[in-house]
Amino acid sequence: MQTTLSEQELVRREKLSRLQAAGIDPYPAPLYPVTHHSADIKAAFTEENKEAFSKVCVAGRIVSINDKGKVFFIKIQDSKGIFQLYVKRDELCPDEDKSFWENVVKHGLDLGDIIGATGYVFITKTGETSLHTETITLLSKSLKPLPVVKRDEDGNVHDAVTDPEFRYRQRYADLIVTDGVKETFVKITKMKNAIREYLNQQGALEVDTPVLQSIPGGAAARPFITHHNALDIPLYLRIANELYLKRLIVGGFDFVYEFSRNFRNEGMDRTHNPEFTVLEFYVAYKDYYWMMETTEQMLEKVALATNDTTVAKVGENEINFKAPYARVSIYDAIKEHTGFDISEMDEAGLRDVCKQLNIPVAPSMGRGKLIDEIFGEKCESNYIQPTFIIDYPIEMSPLTKKHRTKAGLVERFELMVNGKEVANAYSELNDPIEQRERFEDQLSLMERGDDEAMFIDHDFLRALEYGMPPTAGIGFGIDRLAMMLTGQSSIQDVLFFPQMRPEKG
């Protein structure tokens, strides 16, 4: 962290002191009666309706100051864009006392300061819609200079800030200086709202389940561990909310969903952040075939709501979310992309395949993990258009119902988009005896050293013993879906505040 002030920061603090000495509060009371925003004025103002803009109050951050002596052209940025203020000394300070002009406008303002202005709207000789300013109020003095972004006369950026260390660590500043960042997060909100609207229309109930859990269940992942002082017990930040949502199905709800903030104590890269958002929903009396149809119908509607089209461009790829999506079994996918038919192979055979394919594996990996590694390394990246990978081996899916016609498989699919998993869904296992056996298989993997194997959740087993109806469930990686619908290549670009390494110093 910076401990000494730069020359510019010292200058700004000197200006702050001069303003205070002149009796000007650089951080006045918060209420300021804004009446209009930049984009709304530009869209609506004409010479014919100018009377409607004769008394306007705007506010925003200064992004440019053009000093013409007794006239200043100041551009401010509000939440909807950039707007120009025309400030004339003799109209701002009509009497003989020009101290406000000298103390504030000429010598007190800096780029980054937040100001308010009142006046009337007009069009300058150069054709720019502007505010003929009658009053200016300093609302917040900026003590740290923002990075300088060069723009041409049309507002196009030619020297954007690209340093990821700055952009992700100081997102508050990135939002100010980097074009398109706000728009990305506005789209993400549209996406989430569209999902909620679709599910609510289908009769789903949005719920909340615990973040602090006594057992990190519902997924194969390494948890974060904390401690509850009053109870003197370890607790885990949830890695998934699946088992709690299925408890609600046991309790009599037919259709529940949750936007769940999950935590996994694993690596970070362009598609993984230790804190992330998952949408999970569970529906009684449905199966994974129904879930595939529902998924593609929902995503088509969500893509349209987010971008006004079902097509999203990610890098060089154009991804079409229009239903229906292709369906490929995981064994067929592996055979197509590796040449190996692994459907009848045991663990030893799979290890030999991994060796031939130069895929590193650990001794703790069982048959399911080995298949997962082969698919992830050699197949996943080939599925750019939305594709359901279906019918997984039972060893890969401890919470999934056995396939009704295919021995050794379960009724599961993963949705692949742009070479990454976006969703994972099952016909849920509701046999409590078989579920206990599957958990015990996971326990044996844990004893072999697999620190991502599932814990046995005895309370969940107790819930299943009361009886859970046939159920379909799914989990969506909301951040990955957001990446695709907003055209971003890194998960850090769709999280306001992604996890960062400790700042040096």
CA distances from 295 to 12, 75, 104, 322, 416 (A): 54, 46, 57, 11, 12
Q: Which two tokens stand for residue 199?
A: 């599910």
DSSP for 406-444, please give it: STTEEEEEEEEETTEEEEEEEEB---HHHHHHHHHHHHH
Q: Give the whole-angstrom CA distance, residue 328 versus residue 426.
A: 15
Exposed (0-12), middle (13-18) or buried (19+): which is 333, by Cβ within 10 Å? buried
Q: Give the whole-angstrom CA distance, residue 113 versus residue 148.
A: 14
CA distances from 366 to 95, 219, 223, 389 (A): 85, 16, 20, 21
Picking from 182, 192, 56, 179, the residue whose alpha carbon sits closest to that of residue 129 is: 56
Picking from 88, 95, 109, 83, the residue whose alpha carbon sits closest to that of residue 24 is: 109
Q: Give the whole-angstrom CA distance, residue 405 versus residue 318.
A: 36
Task: Indicate the annotated binding residues for Mg(2+).
Answer: 414, 421
Q: In sequence order, what are the residues at sequence separation of 6 or more whose Cβ sits closer than 8 angstroms to the Cβ of residue 447?
A: none
Q: To the nearest 5 percent, what fractions of the chain are helix, strand and coil?
A: 35, 25, 40
Picking from 387, 476, 385, 495, the residue whose alpha carbon sits closest to that of residue 198 is: 476
**Sign of torsion over alpha carbons 89, 90, 94, 97:** positive
Burial 314-330 (b: 16+ CB within 10 A, else e): beeeebebebebeebbb
Task: Indicate the annotated binding residues.
Answer: 414, 421
Which 3 state secondary structure label does DSSP give 291? helix
DSSP 265: -
